[in-house]
Each structure stands twice: as structure tokens, then as C-alpha cells.
Amino acid sequence: MRVIWYVALGGAVGSVLRYIVGVVVQARTGLDFPIGTLLVNISGCLMLGFLIQYAMATPAISPEVRALLTTGLCGGYTTFSTFSYEAVALIQDGDWRRATLYVGLSVAGCLLGVMLGIAGARQIVVLRHGF
């Protein structure tokens, strides 16, 4: 149960960081491109890769702190980091077929999920509010 509190704390911090970084970067660049989200995803992947490698190579990080930093902080900051790490792990294991399938299904499935969610919300708005 203690690990769950570590994950919750890391997740709260990661979520706030994601919001701040995304909004600040987007506002400062003024680009018509989701550069804030892109930066969050890339930096989160960099952070997760470093933390997992370091935590596995040294006893300096306890399992609770590792959960706080990886599942909590990085997971709250961006779940894209977990997806990317898992895809790289499959590639490093030489399992290109499963890695390709995982990446393809993840990207296509997530895009489809967003489209279906939007369509569902639009239907509810039309049915309940008439517009």
C-alpha cells in the first residue's frame, strides 16, 4: 500500500509539470503546432529511459522511489514515455515483429480512440442540447 502513495505523489507532481511545461512552451513559441506536448513527450521519454537504466544498474534507488519516479512522475508527466520504453525493450530483445505491431496498434488505436471519443461526445451534445 505504501508504494501506491509513492506513485500517487509522483503522479501528482508529474501531472502538474506536464501542464506547466506544455502551457509555458506553447505560449512562448506561439506556434500553430503542439510543440509543448511534443517537448513533454520527448523529455518524458528521456527521463524514463535514464531513470530505469540507472535504477536497474545501481542499488541507490529503492523500489518505492523507483515507483515514484517512473510510474508516478514519468507516468503523470507523459504515458508516452512508458509506451516508448516498452517498444524499445521489444526492439532490444530483437523482437521487431512485436515491436512494430505494438507501435502500429498503439498509434492507430489511440488515434481511433480519440476520434471515437470525439464522435461520442458530439452525439451526446446533440442529443442533450440540440446543437
User: CA of 11: how far to CAs of 14, 73, 103, 117, 122, in Å?
Assistant: 5, 5, 24, 24, 30
pLDDT, average across residues 111-128: 91
Contacts of 46 (CB under 8 A, 6+ apart): none
Which residue, 48, 36, 43, is CA-closest to 88? 48
- H-type helices in 1-95, by residue range? 2-29, 35-57, 63-67, 75-77, 80-92
Quick check: 99 and 91 in contact, CB under 8 A?
Answer: yes
pLDDT digits (tens, 9 = 90+) for 44-93: 999 999 999 998 888 889 999 999 999 999 999 998 888 999 999 999 99
DSSP state at residue 70: I
Residue 118 has pLDDT above 80, yes or no: yes
User: CA of 17: how far to CAs of 42, 59, 123, in Å?
Assistant: 14, 27, 33
Residue 95 has pLDDT above 90, yes or no: yes
pLDDT digits (tens, 9 = 90+) for 27-52: 999 988 889 999 999 999 999 999 99
